[in-house]
Every structure is written in C-alpha cells, then in structure tokens.
Structure 1
Amino acid sequence: MNILVTGGAGFIGSALVRHIINNTQDSVINVDKLTYAGNLESLASIASSDRYVFEQVDICDRAELARVFKQHQPDAVMHLAAESHVDRSITGPSDFIQTNIVGTYTLLEATRDYWNTLSVDAKQAFRFHHISTDEVYGDLPHPDEQEGLAVNQELPLFTEITSYAPSSPYSASKASSDHLVRSWLRTYGLPTIITNGSNNYGPYQFPEKLIPLIIMNALEGKLLPIYGKGDQIRDWLYVEDHARALYKVVTQGKVGETYNIGGHNEKRNIEVVQAICSILDTLVPTDTLYAEQITYVTDRPGHDRRYAIDASKMSNELNWQPQETFETGLRKTIEWYLINPAWCQHVQDGSYQHERLCIDA
C-alpha cells in the first residue's frame, strides 16, 4: 500500500513510519507541519528509503493537502497529526482547537474529495484511520476510592462503547475529532476506523512528557516534579507495540469499528518515577539515590485520576498483544535516552526547560 501518515515526525507517528518502512513493503508519505514536537531526526534511519517521502504541510491547508493527494495517490490515510500535551492545552487551548478539530475536518474533506475520484474497487479498499486517545473517555474509579480493591481487580476499564467525558481542552478536542470522523462515515460513506490508545512511552518522545522529563531531569541533577500525590494511574503502552497495533488496524480492521489499544500496565505516576530512579541507580550510579530528587508540586487543573484500557477486542479480532512489559519497555527507553543525548538537545527550542507547564495555571 501507499500510506499517507499525518504527524509522521512526531513521537508515535515516527515510530509508525519506521515500523512500516522497516517491516513491510508499503510506502509512506509523511505529512507533518514540524511544530515544536516534530523532529525529522527521529526518521534519520529510514529517510533515504525509496519508499519514503516527506511533505512539510499543515493539515489545515486544504490546497496543499489536495496537491499531496493528487501527487502521491495514497491507498490509506493514518491520521496522527495533533496537539497532544494536556498541560499545553490548559495554558493555550486555541492551538488544540485549530489543529485537532479544524485540522481533522480539513483533512477529512481533502480525503473525501480524493476518495470520490477513485474507482469503485479502490474506494472500497481505501481506509481513513484516525488515531485518538483514551483520554476522551474521562477518568475511571480509582482503587483508593474503593476500599479493599486493588488495581485490575473488579475495577472498570475503558471499552470501545464507553461514553465520552473529556476533562481537558486536549481530550475535548480529540473527542470532537473522533465524532467528526464517525460522521464522515455515516454521512458520506468515507471508510473510517478509529483507535484510542493509552499513554505511550519509548524512544524519541519529546521531553515534556512524564517519562523522558524524569529521565532527563534525573541525569541533570534537577528536581523530579510530580503532580499532587503522584497517585494518578495510567495504562502504559510501549510506542513500538502501538505502532504494530496501528498497522494491524489499518490493514485488517473493519470499517466503522473502534479499537482500544492498551499496554496492560496500570501504574501510579509515583511508581513510574520510582522505577525510573531505580533503573538509573543501576545504570548510572551516583553518590546519592535518584529518588532523593523527587518533589511534589501543585496538581494541574482537572487532572484525571485513572485511565485503564480493555484491549481484548484488539486481541480477539486482530490477534494483537503488546510484546513489552512495562519493566522491559522502561529499561529499553532509559537506555535509549542514555545513548542519545544529542537528540534530546536538538528537539528543544530553548523555551522549554523541563518544567511542569501547569504549576501556575
């Protein structure tokens, strides 16, 4: 297939592009605006492939999207381009409305125009795969609120039919884009599929997100800031496992379906930070323990307490399971950051200095 990937220079997008080029015979058209979180260095290993093309295009630019579709004639679209950091959405929501809602609308319309030019067989084979987040569902009951229950024991999980209840401007903008995608199938017949993934981690992640932030702060001797009590629970998914799942969906998933993708790894934020510190104590020992750098800061507004994905549909219908445990994935991630300090420096524009962005929000 010839697959158009939006946001292919971002964290999850670049992992997906690398997976497609390295593990399939498909070709990729990478459409990315190259905002602060986009970095072509993440694609250096596959950039010279004759099955890879990069187009620096904003998904809000309808004319440029039309040119890209006409020039490259994709068989599928995998839409990952998005503003994705909750903290930034709280301090500056307008970019999230523009990219995640208006951008998705513009891409849907450009795709529909192109799709309508295809033959009957090509139209039936075409796929528009929208990549979303578990945050659209809001939050779930927390074990601390359910006396006698431990994580993963009789606590509810997000399923594909869980009602939407977004809490932040980010998750609200993604929920809106999900609804747009479903309506373009229902109203226009555009063959769409949606996936909702849990918290990703792994190599090439911009260092404002929790795991790379903690790794880099720890190595630089800085404080390790944790929101509130650090008891927020997330389901952690190794990014390369997510990339494999996304490719499964676009090639084998059913039109009109939603698939939840999770890592089966519910962890409290404080547990994640302590695990990072423990691994660093082994790999890069110092005179003191890294955990001594932990500090607690004011929680961000509207902070969801627990996310947890039921990914059984992915397993039962598409035969996908995550290959990494949280322990193996976290060690791989830390080792990658240790041997790639130059990448970490190059992705930063000087305005972000490893702070928690919502402390004063």
Structure 2
Amino acid sequence: MTKKILITGITGQVGSQLADYILENTPYDVIGLMRWQEPMDNLYHLTDRINRKDRISLFYADLNDYSAIARMIREIQPEYISHLAAQSYPKTSFNIPIETLQTNIIGTANLLENIRQLKEVDGYDPVVHICSSSEVYGRAKPGIALSEETQFHGASPYSISKIGTDYLGQFYGEAYRIRTFVTRMGTHSGPRRSDVFFESTVAKQIALIEAEYQEPVIHVGNLSSTRTFQDARDAVRAYFLLLEASEQGKIPCGEYFNIAGEEAFKLPEVIEILLGMSTRRDIRVITDQERFRPIDADYQMFDNTKIRSTINWKPEIPARQMFADLLNHWREEISKGKIPLNR
C-alpha cells in the first residue's frame, strides 16, 4: 500500500512547495489539511490532480477543533505528518495574540494528543515533523551564530507561540516516544511567499510600480535587521530528508534542528538587489512607522552544523536567484489581474 504524508497548512508557501516536492520526487500520496475558506492560490496548479484524487487530496478541518482532528487522524492514519499550519505572521501576532497562541500552541497539542491516544489504542506510530521557527531565539546578540542550544527569547506573541510549539514537539517525543522532530527554519523566501514578509512586500511593491498600479515609492519598516536567507524549496527538501531519517531510526524522538540559509544580508542590501532587478530606475524607499514591530528579531545568523551532520543537505539555490524568482512571481500574479493589497 502506498504510504501517505499529511501536510497541515498545505495552502501556504512552504506547505504547497512540500506537496510539490513529494509528488515530484517520491511515490507517496499527499493529504493536505486546510480550512474550507482558505485561499487556494498556491494550489491552483494542483487542482486538476486534487479533483481526480491523483495522489493528492484535501481534508477540511481546523486545528482548534479537537474532534475534527481526531476524525482526521483515525481515518487517514498517515505514515508521515508534516505539521506546518500556524498563524505565521510575527507582526500580525501583536494584533491577534490570543488567536496566535491558541492556533499555534493548542492546535499543535490537539494534533499530538490525538496521535498519542491512537498510539496507545492500536499502536499507530507515524513520523511527525513539528515546524517551529527561528523566531524562538528572538532578539539575539549581534555577532553570535545561533545554534540549537541558544537560549530562547520571545520577541512577539508569534515567537512565544512557537516556543510553546517547539517544546510540545520535544515533550511528546521524549515522554510518549512519538517519533517527533522539530525544525527551526530561518528566513525563507521565493515564489508564493506571503506579502506580509519584508522581502516579499518589497518585491510586490516593485511589481506594482512596474505595472503602474503604485507610485514609484516603496514603503518599508525596520531596516536594521541582518539575517540569513534561504529558498523555501531548499527547506522542504531538508524536511523530507529528516522525515526519512527519522523513519530509519537515525533521529532520537523529540530532536530539534536549525534549518537556515548560509548567505547573509542586511535588509537595505535586499532592497538594493531587488531594485537592481527592476525595469524602473525612479523608485524611492520610505520608512513607514506603521510597519514596525514593538520588538524585532533584528539579528539572525545560524549554525547549520547539526542538520548537516545528520542528513546530506545544504542550501543549493542562490539567494539572488530566490529574489529574482520572488519578483517574477509577483509580476506574473499582477499580469493575471490579481492586484494585491498594499500592505
């Protein structure tokens, strides 16, 4: 029987690209968890296959609905689970802190608790990937590479929610021997990146300006941050290799890994790169106080030693190619008449 992988948050950038990777590189079937009202933009290229149930299908449920998650786990019983669903926007989390904490912490607990109970009843024993975030490290000291043992520092409700998610993944692995592992992905981008994130909103605004939907002015927030960038398509490859390694018993239950790019940029450098790819030469950049967070994770440099010693992986897509692909993504979307909000 063909093995199944459940991807929660399949409509997001990373979830949809993980689905693409699984369908292109493995024989496994994909089941995507989504709420019925979520936008399908990142899955339109797969809707024909979804309609035909050609190795990919959808399950409608909400992480906060315990009984719906219970029904999903009982019915599907996937061999692999990649738990990516979350309220994933740090700045937005300052406005909706309770929803962020509820979805990311309690939603993750709902998933893991249902797996635990089914394991006790009939021995169900999947490999479970819990997606945390590099935001758990918060405001780090400049000049220090973040390793997996760096102290957590909650710098937003989102960051705090991911600290809870991270600890839940570790706890259920250590306490109940569920084959969990936790990933803390650094800044990642490329096609399908949501426009609420820095480099994507810059690329989107450039594309809007080129199409004459916006005056030649880009609005940005805090530019003092320095961080590594990686393409999300590299990250999902790491996710899958870790799933395989865990199934093979090469990863202890509850283990945790940084996954980050190895090219670092100050945010003004990212703007310069994207502007250099534009067809316009008259674009100005303006700092907008409304785009600032109360606290920012303004230094994120990572140590990838642990993951590179566990699986045969390293980032392969150059950052400049990632930025070009991101800009072209927005150009293509806008050319189709999909005019995004200016945010």
Q: TM-score normalised to the size of structure 1? A: 0.84
| Deviation beyond 3 Å, 4+ runs, structure 1 | none
| CA deviation map 1:123-161 (0-9, x unaligned) | 3xx21110111110123233xxxxxxxxxxxx3211111
The partner residue of 2:73 within 65, 69, 73 is: 69
- Residues 169-208 of structure 1: pairs in structure 2 closer than 5 A: 169-208=157-196
CA distance in 2, matches of 1:140, 1:344: 41
The partner residue of 2:259 within 255, 258, 261 is: 261
**Where does residue 104 of structure 2 map in the other structure?**
100
Q: TM-score normalised to the size of structure 2? A: 0.89
- Residues 1-361 of structure 1: pairs in structure 2 closer than 5 A: 1-33=3-35, 38-47=38-47, 48=49, 50-119=54-123, 123=125, 126-142=126-142, 155-221=143-209, 222=214, 223-228=217-222, 230-253=223-246, 254=251, 255-280=253-278, 285-286=279-280, 288-290=281-283, 292=284, 294-298=285-289, 299-341=292-334, 345=338, 353-355=341-343
CA distance in 1, matches of 2:269, 2:35: 35
- Give how far 1:96 is off: 0.3
**Where does residue 359 of structure 1 map in the other structure?**
none
CA distance in 2, matches of 1:219, 1:185: 45
Give the match's secondary structure for 1:157: coil
Root-mean-square deviation (CA, aligned residues, Å) is 1.9
* Contact 2:172/2:254 (8 A) holds in 1: no
Q: Which one-letter code corresponds to 2:221 in the other structure?
A: Y
CA distance in 2, matches of 1:14, 1:30: 9
**Residues 343/252 of structure 1: CA separation in 2 closer, same or farther (3 Å cut):** farther
Give the match's secondary structure for 1:91: coil
| CA deviation map 1:44-64 (0-9, x unaligned) | 333415211101210111111
CA distance in 1, matches of 2:298, 2:100: 22
- Give how far 1:215 is off: 1.6
Percent identity over the alignment?
A: 24
- The gaps in structure 2 that reach 5 residues or longer are none
- Give how far 1:34 is off: 5.6
* Contact 1:217/1:354 (8 A) holds in 2: yes
* Contact 1:96/1:169 (8 A) holds in 2: yes
- Give how far 1:320 is off: 0.3
* Contact 2:193/2:326 (8 A) holds in 1: no
CA distance in 2, matches of 1:45, 1:213: 23
Moved more, 294-303 or 270-279: 294-303
- Give how far 1:94 is off: 1.4
| CA deviation map 1:28-54 (0-9, x unaligned) | 11011266xx53231233341521110
- Give how far 1:108 is off: 1.0
Give the match's secondary structure for 1:116: helix
Give the match's secondary structure for 1:259: strand
**Residues 219/241 of structure 1: CA separation in 2 closer, same or farther (3 Å cut):** same
Give the match's secondary structure for 1:340: helix
* Contact 1:3/1:29 (8 A) holds in 2: yes
Give the match's secondary structure for 1:243: helix
* Contact 1:207/1:344 (8 A) holds in 2: no
- Give how far 1:97 is off: 1.0
CA distance in 2, matches of 1:335, 1:97: 34
- Give how far 1:342 is off: 6.2
| CA deviation map 1:89-145 (0-9, x unaligned) | 1122111011001111111111212233444xx63xx21110111110123233xxx
* Contact 2:11/2:40 (8 A) holds in 1: yes
